[in-house]
Amino acid sequence: MLIVTNGDSAVSALKKAGIPGHIFPWRDVLHEGPVPTTESLEAESDVRAEFIAGRGWGPPDRVREDFRLRDKKLASARHHDELVLWFEHDLYDQLQLLQILSYLATEPPEDTILSLVCRDAFVTHTSVDLLDQWFEDRAPLDDAQISLGREAWDAFTQPTPEPWADLLDSDTAALPFLADSVERHLEEFPGPADGLSRSERQILTAVEQGHATPGAVFRASQEMEEAAFMGDASFWYTLTGLILGTAPLLAAEGEFRLPDGPTPGPGFLSQPLDFTTAGRDVLAGKVDWLSLHPLDKWLGGIHLGPSMWRWDPEARQLLSS
């Protein structure tokens, strides 16, 4: 039996629970950086490895090898009696699930049973007994789920966001957490008035509420999520983008100390933060951050900067400019 899940912490939790089989992590933060349409999973992984290494999240050679080994493990499903996809309900997991379903649509492992465990709870926050019960209750992966996964992944990787947003008006019942994940991802597009993504807006709101250090802001922002999805490294990158650059919205007391590795120490986590004048104006909706700050950002297959899209969360509508 082969089991694929979101990341290393989930792998450890499943192994600790005594779940049988070979368990491996998918790991990729697909809500960050370029995910354009490619001709194969291998080509997708090349793009993603370049992005991950470019962020400084690992040496290029090791990152490329990690992706190669990961993809090789998934391809080995044809040598196993069963492949279990074990994912959670949040955006991080749902994008990984879509990518794997798209792969299975084109590379189905013959004579291998395909199963799915997908619950609205985090593996690492779940008791051993309940994880064991979920494993026993795993459901067969059906054609409707695979087909919808492929359709959604194709939409996610398109160079314009309309196909992705159109899923909100489609029947996505086969994957019950897909619609919420699509909407949460669209909320990472700039807002119509302030130019902020939801994650950026939550960071500023947390500081306004008195959470005045990176560690406190991270915890407060996570609590604002219906289904927390952003890990530490992605969050620190987003926070740093509000502090450094052409139009900072936040400032540190003294010189801002960058994260010192994937697990920052107290020097980074406890440094005091406060608003700049621009930060207060942007959060109040008086100034559009994009009028001060050039955007160069990828969301799936969409490169924001050369083209500009916004998402109006109240109207649930895309805006092109």
- Cβ-contact 112, 80 below 8 angstroms: yes
- Cβ-contact 105, 150 below 8 angstroms: yes
Mean pLDDT within 20-35: 98
State how far Cα 283 lies from the chain centre. 24
Domains, the chain, ordered by start = 2-186 (3.40.1360.10), 198-294 (1.10.10)
- Per-residue pLDDT, 229: 98
Q: What is the pLDDT of residues 218-232, one digit of tens each?
A: 999 999 999 999 999
70: alpha, beta or left? (left if phi > 0; alpha if psi -120 to 50): alpha
The residue type found at 67 is: F
User: Can you state the angle between helices 91-106 and 143-156, rounded to 10 degrees?
Assistant: 110
pTM recorded for the entire structure? 0.97
Binned at pLDDT 50, 70 and 90, residue 307 comes out as: confident
Give the integer Cα–Cα distance in Å for 127 and 280. 43
- Per-residue pLDDT, 162: 98
Q: Centre a 10 Å sphere on the Cβ of residue 82 and count the other Cβ atoms it contains.
A: 15
Give the integer Cα–Cα distance in Å for 302 and 290. 17
Q: What is the pLDDT of residues 67-116, one digit of tens each?
A: 999 999 999 999 999 999 999 999 999 999 999 999 999 999 999 999 99
SS (H, E, C) 251-302: EECCCCCCCCCCCCCHHHHCCCEEECHHHHHHHCCCCCHHHCCCCCEEEECE
Binned at pLDDT 50, 70 and 90, residue 306 comes out as: confident
Give the integer Cα–Cα distance in Å for 171 and 264. 42
- CA-nearest of 272, 275, 271 to 259 is 271
- How many alpha carbons fall within 13 Å on the CB side of residue 107? 16
Give the integer Cα–Cα distance in Å for 174 and 152. 12
Binned at pLDDT 50, 70 and 90, residue 271 comes out as: very high
Q: Is the dihedral of CA 8, 9, 10, 15 positive or negative?
A: positive
Q: What is the pLDDT of residues 146-162, one digit of tens each?
A: 999 999 999 999 999 99
